[in-house]
């Protein structure tokens, strides 16, 4: 093992649950381990260096870069990712804390499902497939959706944007942990009880991140666009990026970046409705291509566009560290390495022999895949420009 990568390799194998600071505000699919990200940033950059995550997801890289006093740029095509990351990394005032705590406490007592069917309720029921569910489950689902309508209606009265966004993310988190990948659909009171407990957990997380958010507006930039446009971004044009730390969409592995599985398998774009964001027109857009298409041409063409753009903003100093999952080591893996080379990058060995593979910890997308294909593994790749 090469000594200077020792800490990164040890951290890459960390299997503990994601925790601390604002990391648990929302469980973004296929999120990084903060332990790994912290080790990578601290080993490969210095204070004030610039870090980029072109597939930012839930923003783990951004939070850890701020904590290490680095500058950071995050890009993601999915507006859920940019919304979540912004809330996780925006400093709030003492007054904001108090207002959020008070509002959430009151909501956790007042929330009910007696509201008349409004636009939100009707829309929610057109995007959730509830056919075949039992009577009790449909009734539970309806109550939770109506409760959410009540919550969102009251939220309209919160004019302060930071408070409004924070509380909207609180609703998203409560719904996600009640509905996504859960069976059977829980009773209304389970959802209701999460409002208070999750709000306290989130405020606590925000408080612990607060010391690292001094002057945060000059240190962090978040973009909702494709990273094939990285070379057009102001902060990146001058080739000052020291570290690109990322985990791109994985070839042939279907991770639902834009959907929740209600009752285990009923795909829905409900999170976009909650956040009032536009739903993606093409379902597989955030995976580069439909993962069931075994030709992978679209995947690798998209990857080529993006990494060619990243090559334009890289200098001799730039290191590119990626964690990528593959479900078979040959074939697609080789093509991935070849594409990196075609985009102008050369590989640096992290250990003297072979690669650093890590087992993907107990993630829901991984569990769903079991049985169909061999278990997925993630590999650590380090590149520089040729």
Ligand X SMILES: C[S@@+](CC[C@H](N)C(=O)[O-])C[C@H]1O[C@@H](n2cnc3c(N)ncnc32)[C@H](O)[C@@H]1O
Enumerate binding residues for ligand X (CB under 6 A).
Answer: 28, 30-32, 54-55, 57-58, 60, 75-78, 81, 226-228, 247-249, 257, 286, 288, 306
Say which DSSP state 53 is in. Answer: E
Q: Which residue is nearest to ligand X (CB)?
A: 57
Least gap, CB of 306 to ligand X (angstroms): 6
Q: Pick the closest to residue 69 from 240, 219, 186 (CA basis).
A: 219
Least gap, CB of 51 to ligand X (angstroms): 13
Q: Which is nearer to ligand X, 80 or 179 (CB)?
A: 80
Q: Which is nearer to ligand X, 82 or 268 (CB)?
A: 82
Cα 26 from chain centre: 8
Task: For residue 254, count CB atoms less than 10 angstroms from its CB and return exposed for 0-12, middle for 13-18, buried for 19 or more.
Answer: middle
Residue-by-residue DSSP string for 274-322: HHT-PPPSSTTGGGSS-TT-TT-HHHHHHHHHHHHHHHHT--TT-EEEE
- Say how far apart CA 11 and CA 146 lie, in whole Å: 43
Q: Which is nearer to ligand X, 178 or 227 (CB)?
A: 227
- Say how far apart CA 380 and CA 357 lie, in whole Å: 7
First to last CA, the chain: 24
Least gap, CB of 282 to ligand X (angstroms): 11
Least gap, CB of 224 to ligand X (angstroms): 9
Residue located via tokens 């020792």: 6
Alpha-carbon distances of 5 from 44, 86, 348, rounded to whole Å: 9, 31, 11
Q: Which is nearer to ligand X, 78 or 376 (CB)?
A: 78
Least gap, CB of 279 to ligand X (angstroms): 13
Tokens of 165: 């966004």
Tokens of 272: 């976009």
Q: Which is nearer to ligand X, 129 or 305 (CB)?
A: 305
Angle at 327 between CA 324 and CA 331, to 5 degrees: 90
- Say how far apart CA 320 and CA 64 lie, in whole Å: 17
Least gap, CB of 23 to ligand X (angstroms): 9
Q: Which is nearer to ligand X, 77 or 186 (CB)?
A: 77
Q: Which is nearer to ligand X, 58 or 147 (CB)?
A: 58
Least gap, CB of 137 to ligand X (angstroms): 30
């Amino acid at each position: 093992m090469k000594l200077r990568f020792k800490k990164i390799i040890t951290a890459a194998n960390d299997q503990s649950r994601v925790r601390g600071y604002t990391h648990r505000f929302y469980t973004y699919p296929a999120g990084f381990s903060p332990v790994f990200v912290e080790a990578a940033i601290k080993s490969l950059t210095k204070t004030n260096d610039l870090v980029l995550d072109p597939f930012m997801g839930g923003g783990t890289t951004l939070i850890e870069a701020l904590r290490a006093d680095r500058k950071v740029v995050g890009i993601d095509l999915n507006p859920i990712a940019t919304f979540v990351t912004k809330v996780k990394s925006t400093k709030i005032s003492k007054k904001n804390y108090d207002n959020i705590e008070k509002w959430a406490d009151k909501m956790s007592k007042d929330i009910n499902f007696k509201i008349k069917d409004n636009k939100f309720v009707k829309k929610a029921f057109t995007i959730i497939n509830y056919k075949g569910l039992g009577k009790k489950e449909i009734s539970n689902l309806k109550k939770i959706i109506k409760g959410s309508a009540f919550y969102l209606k009251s939220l309209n009265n919160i004019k302060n944007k930071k408070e409004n966004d924070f509380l909207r993310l609180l609703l998203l988190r409560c719904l996600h942990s009640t509905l996504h990948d859960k069976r059977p659909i829980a009773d209304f009171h389970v959802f209701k009880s999460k409002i208070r407990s999750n709000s306290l957990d989130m405020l606590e997380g925000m408080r612990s991140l607060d010391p690292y958010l001094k002057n945060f507006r000059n240190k962090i930039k978040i973009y909702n666009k494709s990273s094939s446009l990285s070379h057009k971004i102001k902060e990146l044009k001058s080739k000052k990026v020291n570290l690109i730390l990322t985990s791109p969409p994985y070839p042939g592995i279907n991770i639902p970046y834009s959907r929740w599985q209600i009752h285990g398998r009923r795909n829905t774009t409900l999170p976009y409705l909650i956040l009032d964001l536009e739903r993606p027109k093409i379902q597989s857009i955030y995976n580069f291509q439909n993962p069931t298409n075994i030709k992978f041409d679209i995947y690798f063409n998209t990857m080529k566009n993006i990494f060619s753009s990243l090559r334009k903003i890289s200098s001799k100093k730039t290191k590119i560290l990626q964690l990528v999952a593959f479900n078979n080591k040959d074939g697609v893996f080789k093509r991935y390495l070849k594409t990196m080379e075609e985009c102008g990058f050369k590989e640096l060995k992290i250990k003297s022999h072979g690669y650093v593979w890590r087992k993907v910890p107990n993630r829901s997308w991984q569990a769903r895949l079991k049985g169909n294909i061999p278990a997925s593994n993630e590999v650590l790749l380090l590149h520089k420009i040729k």
